Structure 1
Amino acid sequence: LVITDVDMPRLDGIELATLIKKDERLKSLPVMIVSYKDREEDRKRGLDAGADYYLTKGSFHDETLLQAVVDLIGEANQ
């Protein structure tokens, strides 16, 4: 599981998601983007880049993040 922010130095999270999904060895890795950018076009851009989830920092609680992780990798004790 890769969790990234949109705004990072050198390589933003959307570019990172694109690179991961284009790499044959890495493309099956689940990618989650967490960002303060909550416009629909930002979300669409992240998902179009290959992210499996796009969560905005202001709109979720710990439970939302944990549920997204479970959705992507499953329960640890299963």
Structure 2
Amino acid sequence: WEGEIDQVIAQCLRVHVSTVERTRARYVEGGIELAVQDRPHPPKQRKLDGQQEAFLIATACSNAPEGRNRWTVSPT
């Protein structure tokens, strides 16, 4: 039965079993505070500058092209 409980937890929470295993290991290491605390992530480089982001938002909030019900990224 070893490992089955982690699999059940993962399935119920819709996460991977390795996520449950890592969380359990952090709990054993440092208690509940460490287990629920998200580790720091390095900053990610922005893909769009402010002007590009504003244009994208304005476009997405505008009416869809003629003949379309909504905006899509599909080429069809």
The structure richer in strand per residue is 1
| Largest Rg, 1 or 2 | 2
The TM-score normalised by the length of structure 2 is 0.24
Q: TM-score, normalised by structure 1?
A: 0.24
Structure having the higher helix fraction is 2
